[in-house]
Amino acid sequence: MERHEQKTATAATWGTQVRTRTMATHRYKQISVLTMNTFAFTVCFAVWVMFSIIGIPIKGALGLNETQFGILAATPILSGSLIRLPLGMWTDKYGGRIVFFILMLCTIVPIYLVSAATAYWHFLLLGLFIGLAGGAFSVGISYTARWFTKARQGFAMGIFGAGNAGAAVTKFLAPSLVVAYGWQMVPKVYAVAMLVTAILFWAFTFTEHSHKVSSTVTIKDQLAALRDPKVWRYCQYYAIVFGGYVGLSLWMTKYYINEYGFDIRTAALVAAIFVLPSGVIRALGGWLSDRFGAHTVTCWVMWVSGGCLLLLSIPHFDVVVTTVNGPVARHVGLNVWVFTSLLFVVGIAWGFGKASVFKHISDEYPHNIGVISGIVGLIGGLGGFVLPIMFGALVDLTGVRSTAFMLLYGSTCVSLFWMYLALKKENVHRKLKTADILE
């Protein structure tokens, strides 16, 4: 009897040790995948917005107008947005590790070739290939989410999404390279950085076959999500919080140069006050979404950012007031400190919003998160493509630079109205369902 009990105790101890080792291994893989995903996405995002800095000296060299500059800065955003849906589908089918790795390898040569470009069409063509780096989001967000439980997905995806801070990396690093070595040095450095990142990513990430969808799932099955109106509502939200973030990331360095007379290094540094916190704070936004719910966070994001954007829309103008002592001229407009403070608040709000939108997705579409994130990411990225072009066109048309914020304010109002209609419809359904139960 004693021998039997000893064997049982030994087996139980051995089983506990195996489970402990298994849990420790899984935990190591979780942390390693999350870390490398976030690092790789940061590098990809820095590359994605590269033209926001090097586009300024290129604009001067080629004699481009505001609209042409907007197109140049936004071209990588276009291809990076369009590729997000197929990348999300491939991630669900083949796994995030292999898709992410191949994606990074495909961008290295085009990044380097930018340094040799001389004509406007050269930059536009290469920009389309460089933009593929922006598609990393729909790969990484799905690859990250599948390694974590539902209760922790918001926080994990928020940490990954903090890779948006790659835009701030470009704001800090690229101007110094431009001033010291010329703009051609930036793509050379970024190409090497992408190669090193791809190697590290492959070395420290893992494949989990259970994370893939069944091989029987067809493309038609995956695209069925396009018929869901909720998906399109999330697309609208993301077009504001992410599309607006990308659009302003591309635009604000130049805005500070023209509106407040800063040089390129100072303008990029001040613009980073908006760019960096908005990217980093996304992890906190994910935690808040886990804690208080995605809808609550998204609602507050829209109201806060809408109020700030309304104030940012005020253009600089002069008024003449007739007094008893004669006419008195007054200048009206936000000084750089008030302007930057409001922009900082918008960035924080949008950082929370980027996390809350994808918490919505992970909660409601756990089995095809890659496809849904691809759709939402595509539309959000297209917002980042369209907005800089519209910013430039509005400046060329009106001569008023704050029209960029007027456009964003109007778009936010649309999101708030759509949110109100959706909430009203859900309340009606809830009341009808309650009435049916009572009957």
Cα distance between residue 378 and residue 80, in whole Å:
8
Distance of CA 276 to the CA centre of its chain: 12
pLDDT digits (tens, 9 = 90+) for 143-187: 888 888 777 777 888 888 888 778 888 888 898 899 899 999 999
Radius of gyration, alpha carbons of the chain: 24
- What 8-state DSSP symbol labels residue 213? P
pLDDT digits (tens, 9 = 90+) for 44-79: 999 988 998 899 899 989 998 888 888 898 889 889
Q: Identify the weakest region by mean pLDDT among 172-176, 297-301, 434-438.
A: 434-438
Instruction: Please check the confidence at residue 15 and state whether its pLDDT lies above 90.
Output: no
Full-model pTM: 0.72
What are the structural domains of the chain? 26-213+220-438 (1.20.1250.20)
Structure tokens at 46: 């820095």
- Where is mean pLDDT largest: 159-173, 310-324, 392-406? 392-406
* C-alpha closest to that of 271 among 52, 437, 43: 52
- What 8-state DSSP symbol labels residue 314? P
The pLDDT assigned to 99 comes to 92
Confidence of residue 393 (pLDDT cuts 50, 70, 90): confident
Which H or E element spans position 331?
A: strand 326-332
Instruction: Please check the confidence at residue 396 and state whether its pLDDT lies above 70.
Output: yes
In a 3-state reduction of DSSP, which class is residue 211? helix
- Rounded to the nearest integer, the mean pLDDT of the chain is 83
In a 3-state reduction of DSSP, which class is residue 366? coil
pLDDT digits (tens, 9 = 90+) for 203-251: 998 887 665 655 556 667 666 767 777 888 888 888 888 888 888 888 8
The percentage of the chain sitting over the pLDDT mark of 70, rounded to a whole number, equals 88
Confidence of residue 381 (pLDDT cuts 50, 70, 90): confident
The pLDDT assigned to 272 comes to 83
Instruction: Please check the confidence at residue 109 and state whether its pLDDT lies above 60.
Output: yes
CB 257 within 8 A of CB 269: no
- Where is mean pLDDT largest: 12-21, 255-264, 354-363? 255-264
* C-alpha closest to that of 126 among 169, 84, 178, 184: 184
Instruction: Please check the confidence at residue 308 and state whether its pLDDT lies above 90.
Output: yes
